[in-house]
Amino acid sequence: MACAAISHTFNGFTITEHPDPVRRAETQKYVTWDEHSLFIDGERIMLFSGEFHPYRLPVPSLWLDVFQKIKALGFNCVSFYVDWALVEGKPGEYRAEGIFALEPFFEAAAQAGIYLLARPGPYINAEVSGGGFPGWLQRVNATLRTSDPAYLAATDNYIANVAATISKAQITNGGPVILYQPENEYTNACCGADFPDGSYMQYVIDQARKAGIVVPMISNDASPSGHNVPESGIGAVDVYGHDSYPLGFDCANPTVWPAGNLPTNFRELHLQQSPSTPYSIVEFQAGAFDPWGGPGFDKCAALLNHEFERVFYKNDFSFGVSFLNLYMIFGGTNWGNLGHPGGYTSYDYGSAITESRNVTREKYSELKLIGNFAKVSPSYLTATPGNASTSIYADTPNLTVTPLIGNGNGSASYFVVRHSDYASQASTNYKLTIPTSAGNLTVPQIEEKQLTLNGRDSKIHVVDYKVFGTNILYSTAEVFTWKNFAGGKVLVLYGGNGEYHELAVSSGSDISVIEGSTSDIAQQSTGDAIIIGWDVSSTRRIVQVDDLRIFLLSKNAAYDYWVPELPAAGTLPGFSTQEKTASSIIVKAGYLVRTAYLQGSNLHITADFNATTPIEVIGAPENAKNLCINGQKVRHSVDHNGIWVSNVDFSPPEINLPRLQDLDWKYLDTLPEIQPTYDDSTWTAADRKTTNNTDHPLSTPTSLYSSDYGFHTGYLIYRGHFIAGDQLPVFYIQTQGGTAFGSSVWLDDGWIGSMGDDGSSNSNGTYRLPTLTDGKPHVFTVVIDNMGLDEDWTVGSETMKNPRGILNYELPEGKSYNATPISWKLTGNLGGEDYIDKVRGPLNEGGLYAERQGFHQPEPPSSNWQSSSPFQGLSTPGIGFYSTSFDLDIPSGWDVPLYFTFMNASSSPAYRVQLYVNGYQFGKYVNNIGPQTSFPVPEGILNYRGKNWVALTLWAMQDGGAKLDGFELVYGTPVKTALTGIEPVEQPKYVLREGAY
């Protein structure tokens, strides 16, 4: 095949790429690898990465915030998916503009100094509708995710476009993208699918190459099972990677770590499967998704907490991992129907960064300790992982120690310690026998001292660890960071409060305690080294050994330390390199430190505060004279150790929020379909005698699958006309909307029943009908909540094609009825695939009357609507639409999380609510299923200083109707923020929609 050269420009440069591997190598010399790690720009680097999906935070000006919070962890990479369903709602029409544009995401990453792994699919899973497949793929007559030509053809336009955009942001063009992942977890198959299908994987790789992708291809096998490994022939990737979710996705019992769930064979499998590529875990568990009716994300954050991070991530380190991506680092929101039916609106995921971008979970702080350690420990990358042992290193079989042994010349070794029963809560004392450059040593060396591993913990003890010429013979306390400042070398260590720790400095001669109490610091000199032992306390001590200052912190104290890079030029941090790492400062602050830079003699720090915060700067550059925090010069003093000391006062602003109950609410019946005069003549007739969904043969005379008619999102409405016969005792119907869906049926204007309040994905209803007059026309109106399309995790399962709509129905025949079978019409969102709202995308709005009209947007024509509020609600089954507006005046300079909160009354009648904020659907509340009652909405969707429009749809599903027992706008802790430039996204207001019915 001829390989056409592809040209494009980035930052004014014209770049020519080649799909041919040999030619590609000529252009792509920026990202290379050996068996230990990747090299970027020639630098051996550990890539510590977090997963963050731009489409789950549809406010591009907030992306920098998340990137900076990731960067502050000591991380240097982000992995992101692109959701095809959001950018090709209509086949052939790729639209990635506004909130869907990727370029601002790339710019924000570059601005924060974060590399990117691009994962555009075409299949992504990701708990999104269809696993990223647009609904129209249900009509493609081919097995998805195989080399079936019709399927491949369906993917071409999307990948050609998305990969071209990504290619412009590759590192070869000065952008942040360093890796590309074709497909997603191409691992499991069933049902006779040809698998593994190398030519399919190759096709997906070639699609990207043809669009200009030159960076290496990395895979993510769902488990370490060796699919598509390098040199395996067709479909092989450049770098093999796999995923792992060892604690699974049930957060109900967050303190239970089931026996046997800690991975132990990853190193062994890596050596078997892909010994020549860096060991890469492309998705490692960092939280969990949660289903409708599930225990909620606070429980997931508790299951996958800071202890999980310590035990599991350090266990990954014990295998020599050098690309580690945590899924998710920030989850975000399944706004606008983008989620799959297995999840609700929140995609918080229990991640280190919460859905409202808050960083107060302890797991964020813990991760910062691990991230910074990895960043300053490149010698880890070339150390050789050994076998886990319960006898060689520790003096108790209750502990397992895995060594990573330095490769000669006194290079550093690492010893990863954990409980043998990884879930143990015991406090286990131990001594460690370790090989060092001074021979085998048993530590602690100071007599009668012991180390302790407290419960669910794991430690990395370093040996022969180099700090700018000083050899740390060993340290049992863990390394946070180390620096070489003009004023001297600094090493920051931490340990659990009350633990005994010890370190030895080779050929150390002089030792003094320069800050804090000397009382429980022991020292001892061997011929080779000076040994320092101490009990960790919450008060910091600084010990000076020759020209090295060692900060001894408790783990909790260390949580307040940050290591912003000090860019050599300009104000932005670079991508993480050792040189740049070396020119960082250490800042003790509180909530968050984002960046630091020097301008003239002003040392600038940008930081966020949620409390009055003492500030210290360790290692201020020599020519820095003034301290500026968020652009304001602040007073500082310099202590006897050269540490700058200052303070930031905090007094929370007054936040005034409207009481939603007191607002002027307008009401509209949004189920006009059940009125006798309703005219559905412009609706789509459901008259297809066959379905294009080849996996699901019809049980009905015409197809009632919504995707056959282009409706893939939100509420669906069906209208079934018939002439009554002489006997219509019962009507049977089966509807399907996906997990936790609901459905209600009306005959003319009378409600006859609802189904699906038990969490199932489809339901049957058998309804006894009232006596009807023989020969008269009647109509059924059926409303179905489409919860999103199923994913397609297992190749061949074709679960993505599970239809939405009416699967079956039966109306027993009477003599007149025989002549007129039910004739059906349907609607979903106005226009279907020709969706109206190009700004908010193809999935945001559903098929209710008010949605079709666009009344959920700002400034609906509500002046003549009735005044009625959702607190009054409906007294019978039906669907009401409520709209109101209010002004906000949140002080600028504050990041104030806002939530819409529903109150669940003691009884849980079946009702469903959709929450629209300035036209964006930011909540689906299901009162009788839950669990989510509180819906965060970010600034940018909400206008923090200006007018906001809120709309609710209230679907009362049972006798007696429904009303809201409580619905409030509330705020979380205001954070004084350095983040500026948050801009409202486009919020198209209501305009008359031509042809809307």
185 binds ligand GAL (CB under 6 A): yes
CB 913 within 8 A of CB 715: no
**CB 250 to ligand GAL: min, Å:** 13
Residue type, 517: S
**CB 790 to ligand GAL: min, Å:** 12
CB 314 within 8 A of CB 377: no
Q: Which stretch binds ligand GAL (CB under 6 A): 62-70, 122-130, 385-393, 625-633?
A: 122-130
**CB 313 to ligand GAL: min, Å:** 17
> What stretches of 786-926 adopt beta strand conformation (E)?
805-810, 823-827, 866-867, 878-889, 894-895, 898-902, 911-917, 920-926
Interface with ligand GAL in residues 70-109 (CB under 6 A)? none
CB nearer ligand GAL, residue 127 or residue 309: 127
CB nearer ligand GAL, residue 148 or residue 243: 243
For ligand GAL, the binding residue among 28, 146, 184, 337 (CB under 6 A) is 184
Residue type, 524: Q
The DSSP secondary structure of 863-894, one letter per residue, reads TTSEE--TTT-BSSSEEEEEEEEEEEEPPTTE
Q: Which stretch binds ligand GAL (CB under 6 A): 124-132, 400-408, 456-464, 561-569?
A: 124-132
3-class SS at 227? Answer: coil
CB nearer ligand GAL, residue 125 or residue 554: 125
**CB 184 to ligand GAL: min, Å:** 5
CB nearer ligand GAL, residue 794 or residue 883: 794
Q: Of all helices (H) and strands (E), which one includes residue 581?
A: helix 578-582
Size of the site for ligand GAL (CB under 6 A): 11
Separation of alpha carbons 674 and 697, rounded Å: 30
Q: Which stretch binds ligand GAL (CB under 6 A): 123-131, 150-158, 391-399, 809-817?
A: 123-131
HSE-CB for 143 with a 13 A CA cutoff: 17
Separation of alpha carbons 485 and 936, rounded Å: 43
Cβ partners under 8 Å of residue 25, min gap 6: none
CB atoms under 10 Å from CB of 7, counted, come to 10
**CB 11 to ligand GAL: min, Å:** 31
Q: Which stretch binds ligand GAL (CB under 6 A): 121-129, 797-805, 849-857, 903-911?
A: 121-129
CB nearer ligand GAL, residue 125 or residue 228: 125
Interface with ligand GAL in residues 605-634 (CB under 6 A)? none
Q: Which stretch binds ligand GAL (CB under 6 A): 10-18, 119-127, 811-819, 919-927?
A: 119-127
CB nearer ligand GAL, residue 792 or residue 895: 792
Separation of alpha carbons 260 and 248, rounded Å: 13
For ligand GAL, the binding residue among 62, 112, 126, 374 (CB under 6 A) is 126
Cα torsion angle, 19, 25, 29, 31, sign:
positive
CB nearer ligand GAL, residue 793 or residue 871: 793
CB 478 within 8 A of CB 416: no
Nearest to 700 by CA among 774, 790, 803, 797: 803
For ligand GAL, the binding residue among 65, 197, 221, 243 (CB under 6 A) is 243
DSSP secondary-structure letter at 27? Answer: H
CB nearer ligand GAL, residue 124 or residue 800: 124
Whole-number Cα distances in Å, 661 to 104, 240, 657, 665, 870: 38, 55, 12, 9, 9
For ligand GAL, the binding residue among 136, 151, 289, 949 (CB under 6 A) is 289
Task: Please compute Rg for the chain using Cα positions.
Answer: 30
Binding mask 322-361 for ligand GAL (x = CB under 6 A): -----x----------------------------------
222 binds ligand GAL (CB under 6 A): yes
Nearest-5° Cα angle at 227, 225 to 232: 130
Nearest residue to ligand GAL, scored by beta-carbon proximity:
125
CB nearer ligand GAL, residue 185 or residue 560: 185
Q: Of all helices (H) and strands (E), which one includes residue 116?
A: strand 115-121
221 binds ligand GAL (CB under 6 A): no
**CB 297 to ligand GAL: min, Å:** 13
CB nearer ligand GAL, residue 121 or residue 710: 121
Q: Which stretch binds ligand GAL (CB under 6 A): 125-133, 397-405, 443-451, 937-945?
A: 125-133
CB 561 within 8 A of CB 587: yes
Q: Is 283 a catalytic residue?
A: yes
**CB 220 to ligand GAL: min, Å:** 6
Interface with ligand GAL in residues 400-419 (CB under 6 A)? none
**836, 842, 845, 847: CA torsion to nearest 10:** 80
Q: Which of 185, 616, 833, 851 is catalytic?
A: 185
283 binds ligand GAL (CB under 6 A): yes
For ligand GAL, the binding residue among 76, 111, 125, 581 (CB under 6 A) is 125
**CB 189 to ligand GAL: min, Å:** 15
CB nearer ligand GAL, residue 248 or residue 750: 248
Whole-number Cα distances in Å, 547 to 162, 377, 438, 487, 706: 53, 20, 21, 9, 73
Q: Which of 17, 183, 283, 355 is catalytic?
A: 283
Helix axis angle, 63-71 to 103-112, nearest 10°: 30
**CB 571 to ligand GAL: min, Å:** 35
290 binds ligand GAL (CB under 6 A): no
Instruction: Find where tokens 């030619």 sit.
Output: 23
Phi, psi values for residue 159, rounded to 5°: -65, -40
The DSSP secondary structure of 709-771, one letter per residue, reads GT--SSEEEEEEEEE--S---EEEEEEE-STT--EEEEETTEEEEEE--SS-SEEEEEEEPPP
**CB 802 to ligand GAL: min, Å:** 17
Interface with ligand GAL in residues 913-932 (CB under 6 A)? none
Separation of alpha carbons 326 and 246, rounded Å: 13
**CB 198 to ligand GAL: min, Å:** 20
Q: Which stretch binds ligand GAL (CB under 6 A): 120-128, 562-570, 714-722, 891-899?
A: 120-128
**CB 219 to ligand GAL: min, Å:** 11
Phi, psi values for residue 688, rounded to 5°: -75, 125
**635, 638, 642, 647: CA torsion to nearest 10:** -50
CB nearer ligand GAL, residue 17 or residue 185: 185
CB nearer ligand GAL, residue 243 or residue 309: 243
Interface with ligand GAL in residues 932-991 (CB under 6 A)? none
Token code pair at residue 986: 């486009």
Q: Is 107 a catalytic residue?
A: no
**CB 792 to ligand GAL: min, Å:** 11
Token code pair at residue 800: 């993505």
Interface with ligand GAL in residues 419-458 (CB under 6 A)? none
Catalytically annotated residues: 185, 283
Interface with ligand GAL (CB under 6 A): 124-127, 184-185, 222, 243, 283, 289, 327
